[in-house]
């Protein structure tokens, strides 16, 4: 599992909640900057199943997003999907680059090509090991490839991730079943130094009730697999699905798409206890699927061995006092539900035939004997990961264990020892205090309408589209940039209280020196820009390096012919609606002497930042703010205007025209209005003599 990019005392909860600690906050920032490629690299570093997780992740990042307290969480999962979709070509070129990996002689066999197995394979291959993945099905991906319905996860998406993984040199052998076609011992004999069992929970559990053998009754996983095949099962009018988990929902919704008119889900749990994700339950309801909560199956009744319905008994409680699954029923309270088909989706279990013919031990409880800290089975060199290790889990958790398995195996192959890897918990940033939340500007989240239920029921096409670029940029802007706020240098701080007085969120306090509590700071940067001791910096984006950045920019054109007037333009990054505008057009503007520096909130510019361009040889400075009323930070604009006035008076004091500094607010689209602002500045500066005769 990759470490977060910056070591911090506490982390944004979107990062800590993510099983693979994806630096989601950084992703939002990179999207804002139009750095989609960098975002992709960061994403893949954490999660090779990013395409998949951009669609079906249970997104604990969003569940824990601190923005929820202000309005609604940031649509982080869809931002990830956007990154993937915006960088398809780049991803392919990345894969090509990664082929030239150092080779190591050790061979590793990975059994099972689900997200955990393939993640481990990917990591090991990146480390230079020779990895072969064995898959019993024709299609790799485990449940992703063989169970999850396509309306949720098109296969092309799964393939994107898998192709990526395979492209770096992972070998895949399909339609070979362990324990039947070959054994662990065979692999060891063939020279595999380590074997990773990642076969998951591939078998559906069944029920032991009267009539369960009747025709028209299916188990969930075989059912879903058939749904994906070229010959999907034919459904009767009435279908009953037993179970309340995510698989049950998949089954129910698939049944609807296969023509079942009335689908009833029967589950032991109450509505609140249902293990399925809430949004899945909601979408199922939209598709006219009824859910009968707190009922358990008592018997199947059939006619001529054909299922006709299900007798139910009331479930009083699902869990025992210790929280364990221990359902209690009231046998006197019964009901019946008619059904042409019954599909059992009450859970999955592992297929332990994989260890057949080896000395890998199985527990009396019919589970693989393994150490959750070292991921080792009872046999040295044989490891396990994924659901076989953890029990039912989400894809992203599978990815996490894949990373851990790769580490464990690499360590083993290098040292012969087991690596103890407890699950890493990162300290999360405290909750957003109410008084701070109140001061934060509310921004309506970008929501993507699902296809209408009647349309989506007609086929298995994906029901939700991804963000457009404009939407992604807008949504990324909603990120509160947790933990990237202001930090005061105790050595320099004079406790002057300027920060305390100007902080629009009442965050800063002065104890002995200034303190900006992380859980409150909104990283607006006003205090950093106004600090008279230059003691405050933003942890992520400050303007402290602005001068160096300008120097670099101007140095890059030093030897070329400099177009005059030379204008530096500080522009509010948040106004940009397409990355094309940041990259492509700036080239053409450079040719006309306009150099653009995009800043996430130009209110962060200090007086020295405003003066620097002139010092470095620019003729003019055009500052372009976001459009009226769109600034995220109260008072930011007036503060900036004050600093611009100050800078102008400094210029005037040394005999340089203050009118060389222009300030504009974006009107309408940046693409249109900015170019006209630049044109105005350019024309004006044509009338004014250059500041000196030297070249920048």
Partner 1 sequence: MIVAERKPLNEIKSFVENYKKILIVGCGTCTTVCLAGGETEVKVVASGLRIGFLKEDKEIEILEDCATRQCEPEFVTEIVERVKKEGVEAVLSLGCGVGVNFMADKLETIPVFPGVNTEFFGAAVEPGVWVEMCAGCGNCILHLTGGICPIARCSKSILNGPCGGSKDGKCEISPDVDCGWNLIVERMKKMGTLQRLEEILPPRDWSTSHHGGPRRVIREEIVSLSQEGGESTKAKEAAKEKESGR
Question: Which CB sits closer to partner 1, 427 or 692?
Answer: 692
CB 652 to partner 1: min, Å:
9
Contact positions vs partner 1 (CB under 8 A): 492, 494-498, 501-502, 531-535, 606-608, 611-612, 614-615, 617, 646, 650-651, 653-656, 691-694
Q: Among all chains, which residue has been given the structure tokens 């900036």?
A: 640
Distance CA 411, CA 624 (A): 53
Neighbours of 290 (CB within 10 A): 14
Residue whose tokens read 């053409």: 588
Residue 337 or 531 having the CB closest to partner 1: 531
Q: How many CA atoms lie within 13 A of 269 on its CB side?
A: 14
Nearer of residues 96 and 548 to partner 1, judged by Cβ: 548
The distance of closest approach from Cβ of residue 522 to partner 1 in the complex, given in angstroms and rounded to an integer, is 20
Of 140 and 504, which CB lies nearer to partner 1 in the complex structure?
504
- DSSP annotation of 504 reads T
Question: How far, in Å, CA of 290 to CA of 297, rounded?
Answer: 16
Instruction: Report DSSP state, residue 3.
Output: P
Q: Measure the CA–CA gap between 174 and 188, rounded to whole angstroms.
A: 19
Nearest CA to 676 out of 686, 687, 665 is that of 665
- Minimum distance between the CB of residue 520 and partner 1, rounded to whole angstroms? 20
State in angstroms the smallest separation of the CB of 656 from partner 1. 6
Check residue 688 and report its DSSP letter: S
Indicate the residue among 561 and 654 with the shorter CB distance to partner 1: 654
The number of residues in the chain equals 696
296 vs 620 by CB, closer to partner 1: 620
As beta bridge partners, residue 643 has none
Tokens of 473: 């940029």
**Residue 127, CA distances (Å) to 14, 107, 279, 382, 648 in order:** 28, 12, 38, 19, 56
d(CA 297, CA 270): 15
Question: Whole-number minimum distance, CB 694 to partner 1, in Å?
Answer: 7
Query: If we measure between CA atoms, which residue out of 624, 574, 573, 615 comes closest to residue 594?
Result: 624
State how far the alpha carbon of 666 is from the alpha carbons of 174, 580, 622, 624, 671, in Å.
56, 18, 12, 7, 9
Q: Exposed/middle/buried for 559, CB within 10 Å: 0-12, 13-18, 19+?
A: exposed
Least distance (Å) from partner 1 to the CB of residue 485?
19
User: Maximum Cα–Cα distance for the chain, whole Å?
Assistant: 102
Q: How far is the CB of 612 from partner 1 (least distance, A)?
A: 6
Q: Please report how close the Cβ of residue 501 comes to partner 1 at its closest, in angstroms.
A: 4
Cβ at position 45, least distance to partner 1 in Å: 37
Please report how close the Cβ of residue 401 comes to partner 1 at its closest, in angstroms: 50
Residue with Cβ nearer partner 1 (348 or 498): 498
The enclosing H or E element of 326 equals strand 325-338
Q: What is the dihedral of CA 669, 672, 674, 677, to 10 degrees?
A: -130
Would you say 338 or 616 has its CB closer to partner 1? 616
In terms of Cα–Cα distance, which of 675, 660, 540, 678 is closest to 600? 540
Shortest CB 293 distance to partner 1, Å? 59
| Cβ 551 to partner 1 shortest distance, Å | 13
Q: CB count, 10 Å around CB of 322? A: 6
Contacts of 318 (CB under 8 A, 6+ apart): 268, 269, 270, 273, 325, 326, 327
Q: Which is nearer to partner 1, 602 or 691 (CB)?
A: 691
Specify the residue, 437 or 536, whose C-beta has the smaller distance to partner 1: 536
Residue 637: other Cβ atoms inside 10 A: 18
- What spatial distance separates the first Cα and last Cα of the chain, rounded to whole Å? 47
Neighbours of 107 (CB within 10 A): 19
Query: At its nearest, how many Å lie between partner 1 and the CB of residue 96?
Result: 46
The number of helix segments (H) and strand segments (E) in the chain equals 26, 23
């Amino acid at each position: 599992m990759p470490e977060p990019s910056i070591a911090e005392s506490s982390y944004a909860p979107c990062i800590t909640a993510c099983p693979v600690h994806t630096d989601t906050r950084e992703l939002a920032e990179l999207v804002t900057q139009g750095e989609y490629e960098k975002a992709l690299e960061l994403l893949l570093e954490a999660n090779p199943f990013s395409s998949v997780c951009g669609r079906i992740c249970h997104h604990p990042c969003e569940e824990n997003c601190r923005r929820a307290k202000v309005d609604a969480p940031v649509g982080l999962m869809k931002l990830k999907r956007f990154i993937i979709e915006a960088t398809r070509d780049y991803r392919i070129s990345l894969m090509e680059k990664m082929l030239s990996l150092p080779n190591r002689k050790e061979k590793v066999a990975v059994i099972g090509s689900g997200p955990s197995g393939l993640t481990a394979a990917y990591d090991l291959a990146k480390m230079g090991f020779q990895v072969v993945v064995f898959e019993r099905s024709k299609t790799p991906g485990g449940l992703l490839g063989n169970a999850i319905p396509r309306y949720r996860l098109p296969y092309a998406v799964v393939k994107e991730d898998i192709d990526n993984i395979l492209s770096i040199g992972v070998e895949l052998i399909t339609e070979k079943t362990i324990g039947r076609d070959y054994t662990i011992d065979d692999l060891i004999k063939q020279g595999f130094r380590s074997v990773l069992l990642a076969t998951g929970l591939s078998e559906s559990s069944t029920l032991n009730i009267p009539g369960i053998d009747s025709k028209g009754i299916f188990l969930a996983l075989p059912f879903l697999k058939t749904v994906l095949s070229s010959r999907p099962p034919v459904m009767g009018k009435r279908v009953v699905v037993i179970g309340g988990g995510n698989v049950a929902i998949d089954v129910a919704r698939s049944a609807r798409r296969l023509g079942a008119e009335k689908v009833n889900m029967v589950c032991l749990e109450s509505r609140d206890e249902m293990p399925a994700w809430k949004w899945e339950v909601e979408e199922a309801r939209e598709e006219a699927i009824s859910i009968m909560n707190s009922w358990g199956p008592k018997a199947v009744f059939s006619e001529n061995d054909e299922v006709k319905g299900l007798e139910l008994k009331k479930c009083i409680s699902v869990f025992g006092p210790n929280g364990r699954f221990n359902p209690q029923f009231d046998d006197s309270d019964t009901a019946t539900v008619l059904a042409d088909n019954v599909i059992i989706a009450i859970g999955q279990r592992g297929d332990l035939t994989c260890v057949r013919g080896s000395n890998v031990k199985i527990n009396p409880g019919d589970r693989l004997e393994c150490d959750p800290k070292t991921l080792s089975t009872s046999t040295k060199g044989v490891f396990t990961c994924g659901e076989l290790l953890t029990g039912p889990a989400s894809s992203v958790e599978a990815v996490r264990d894949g990373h851990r398995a790769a580490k464990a195996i690499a360590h083993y192959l290098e040292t012969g020892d087991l690596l103890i890897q407890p699950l890493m918990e990162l300290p999360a940033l405290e909750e957003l205090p109410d008084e701070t939340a109140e001061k934060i500007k509310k921004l309506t989240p970008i929501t993507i309408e699902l296809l209408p239920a009647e349309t989506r029921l007609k086929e298995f096409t994906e029901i939700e589209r991804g963000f457009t670029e404009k939407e992604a940029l807008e949504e990324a802007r909603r990120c509160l940039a947790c933990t990237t706020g202001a930090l005061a240098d105790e050595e320099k701080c004079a406790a002057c209280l300027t920060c305390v007085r100007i902080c629009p969120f009442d965050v800063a306090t002065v104890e002995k020196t200034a303190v900006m509590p992380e859980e409150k700071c909104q990283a607006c940067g006003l205090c950093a820009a106004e600090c008279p001791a230059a003691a405050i910096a933003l942890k992520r984006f400050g303007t402290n390096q602005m001068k160096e950045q300008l120097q670099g920019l101007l140095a890059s054109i030093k030897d070329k012919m400099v177009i005059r007037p030379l204008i530096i333009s500080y522009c509010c990054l948040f106004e940009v609606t397409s990355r094309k505008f940041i990259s492509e057009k700036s080239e053409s503007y450079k040719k006309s002497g306009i150099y653009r520096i995009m800043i996430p909130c130009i209110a962060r510019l200090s007086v020295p930042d405003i003066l620097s361009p002139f010092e470095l040889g620019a003729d003019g400075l055009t500052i372009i703010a976001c459009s009226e009323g769109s600034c995220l930070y109260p008072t930011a604009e007036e503060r900036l205007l004050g600093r611009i006035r100050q800078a102008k008076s400094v210029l005037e004091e040394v005999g340089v025209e203050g009118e060389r500094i222009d300030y504009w607010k974006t009107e309408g689209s940046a693409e249109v209005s900015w170019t006209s602002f630049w044109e105005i500045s350019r024309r004006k500066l044509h009338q004014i003599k250059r500041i000196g005769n030297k070249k920048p």
